[in-house]
Amino acid sequence: MNNFRPKTTFIGKKNIYLPTCQSTNDEAALLLQQGAVAEGTVVITDHQMAGRGQRGSNWQAAPGQNLTFSIVLRPAFLTAIEQFRLNIAVSLGVWAGLMPLLGKDLKIKWPNDLYYKNQKIGGILIENVLQSSRIETAIIGIGLNVNQSDFTNPHATSLRNITQQMYDLWEVLADLLLKIEENYLLLRSGHYNRLKMRYLQNLYRYQEIHLFGQNDTVFEGMIIGVGETGKLAVQIGNELQHFDLKEINYLV
Ligand code: BTN
């Protein structure tokens, strides 16, 4: 940790390592409440006791074997309605950091899960603080399964399970931070369209026909894009429908 020096310009230049905590997102929020926090500050822990996931779920990771960290960003160049753009840049950053290790079967599952084939290897929880319709601060929480080999959930996997290798967590972290920064800087310098195109190119089940579920109904559809506010655009027969996170489930 003491000699952790990612090749970034600002993300991860300041790091706060906590052997254990409830949630790195909560720790980052606490720091922000307490006063000035440099943009790019990373809070990282070996053991999260109350890790949080999307849709009110929890995030579980075996202590010391995985990456669980949060990055503080200040994307005031984005308005509240552009929040999904940050999601695109960060997911692509994580994807690009892992791609050299995992190859083309690595995909981004909308909105921001990392999938290898049909199993989840990582997830992202972004929590924004808005001020007069701009994003004042964003806490980017990332959980990545690295060296853990046993999972109770059959849909979960790790770098180790995929490649049969063990990884240095700090090295993987440095790769991720570099790519997240690269993509964030592209977003900040006005290259959203390029990022969105890459996001779609690497989206899980993009332009493939699959079964989806909504409440008690099952339907066949094809993901054809993502709307400006981040809703998933699915072509169902002759109709184009947009879904929120809670409104659609991917089936087989
Ligand atoms: C998801 O896939 O549901 C998102 C999971 C996000 C987990 C990370 S681990 C670090 C950070 N702290 C948290 O409490 N959650 C995020």
Q: pLDDT over 90 for what percent of the chain?
A: 96
In this prediction, residue 203 carries a pLDDT of 98
Beta strands in 62-118 (DSSP E): 67-73, 106-109, 113-116
Q: Tell me: the pLDDT tens digits for 84-134? A: 999 999 999 999 999 999 999 999 999 999 999 999 999 999 999 999 999
Tell me if 196 is assigned to some domain: yes
Is residue 155's pLDDT more than 70?
yes
Tell me if 9 is assigned to some domain: no
Residue nearest to atom 7 of ligand 1 (CA): 143
In this prediction, residue 100 carries a pLDDT of 98
Of 83, 23, 12, 81, residue with least CA distance to 47: 23
Is residue 28's pLDDT more than 70?
yes
Query: Radius of gyration (Cα) for the chain, nearest Å?
Result: 18
Q: Are both 26 and 118 inside the same structural domain?
A: yes
Tell me if 121 is assigned to some domain: yes
Q: Are both 171 and 65 inside the same structural domain?
A: yes
Q: In sequence order, which residues have a C-beta less than 8 Å from that of residue 71 and are 6 or more positions away?
A: 11, 12, 28, 40, 41, 42, 139, 140, 142, 177, 180
Output the CA 239–ligand 1 centroid distance in Å: 34
Q: Is 110 in the pocket of ligand 1 (CB under 6 A)?
A: no
Tell me if 10 is assigned to some domain: no
Q: Is 124 in the pocket of ligand 1 (CB under 6 A)?
A: yes
Is residue 182's pLDDT more than 70?
yes
Q: Are both 191 and 218 inside the same structural domain?
A: no
Q: Is 6 in the pocket of ligand 1 (CB under 6 A)?
A: no
**How many domains does one find in the chain?**
2
Residue nearest to atom 16 of ligand 1 (CA): 141
Q: In the predicted model, what is the mean pLDDT of the chain? A: 97
Last residue of a domain, one of 185, 201, 217: 201
Domain that holds residue 240: 209-250
Q: Are both 151 and 98 inside the same structural domain?
A: yes
In this prediction, residue 246 carries a pLDDT of 87
Q: Is 125 in the pocket of ligand 1 (CB under 6 A)?
A: yes
Do the beta carbons of residue 144 and residue 125 sit within 8 Å?
no
Q: Are both 172 and 226 inside the same structural domain?
A: no
Tell me if 135 is assigned to some domain: yes
In this prediction, residue 3 carries a pLDDT of 83
Q: Is 23 in the pocket of ligand 1 (CB under 6 A)?
A: yes
Q: Is 87 in the pocket of ligand 1 (CB under 6 A)?
A: no
Q: Are both 196 and 213 inside the same structural domain?
A: no
Q: How far is Cα 45 from Cα 67, in angstroms, rounded to an integer?
A: 8
Q: Are both 85 and 175 inside the same structural domain?
A: yes
Q: Are both 24 and 71 inside the same structural domain?
A: yes
Of 148, 58, 130, 142, residue with least CA distance to 97: 142
Tell me if 1 is assigned to some domain: no
Top pLDDT among 11 and 56 is at: 11
In this prediction, residue 1 carries a pLDDT of 65
Tell me if 3 is assigned to some domain: no
Q: Is 181 in the pocket of ligand 1 (CB under 6 A)?
A: no
Q: Tell me: the pLDDT tens digits for 186-203? A: 999 999 999 999 999 999
Is residue 54's pLDDT more than 80?
yes
In this prediction, residue 187 carries a pLDDT of 98
157: domain CATH number is 3.30.930.10
Q: Are both 155 and 44 inside the same structural domain?
A: yes
218: domain CATH number is 2.30.30
In this prediction, residue 252 carries a pLDDT of 74
Output the CA 51–ligand 1 centroid distance in Å: 6
Q: Is 22 in the pocket of ligand 1 (CB under 6 A)?
A: no
| 150-167: average pLDDT | 97
In this prediction, residue 44 carries a pLDDT of 98
Q: Are both 90 and 111 inside the same structural domain?
A: yes
Q: Are both 240 and 197 inside the same structural domain?
A: no
Tell me if 241 is assigned to some domain: yes
Q: To test ligand 1's pocket by mutation, which of 21, 48, 49 has the most ligand atoms within 8 angstroms of CB?
A: 48
Of 170, 6, 189, 196, residue with least CA distance to 91: 196
Q: What is the rounded end-to-end Cα distance, in angstroms, of the chain?
A: 42
Q: Is 126 in the pocket of ligand 1 (CB under 6 A)?
A: no
Looking at ligand 1, which atom is closest to the CA of residue 61? Answer: 9
Q: Are both 229 and 144 inside the same structural domain?
A: no
In this prediction, residue 2 carries a pLDDT of 63
Is residue 145's pLDDT more than 80?
yes
Q: Tell me: the pLDDT tens digits for 207-246? A: 999 999 999 999 999 999 999 999 999 999 999 999 998 8
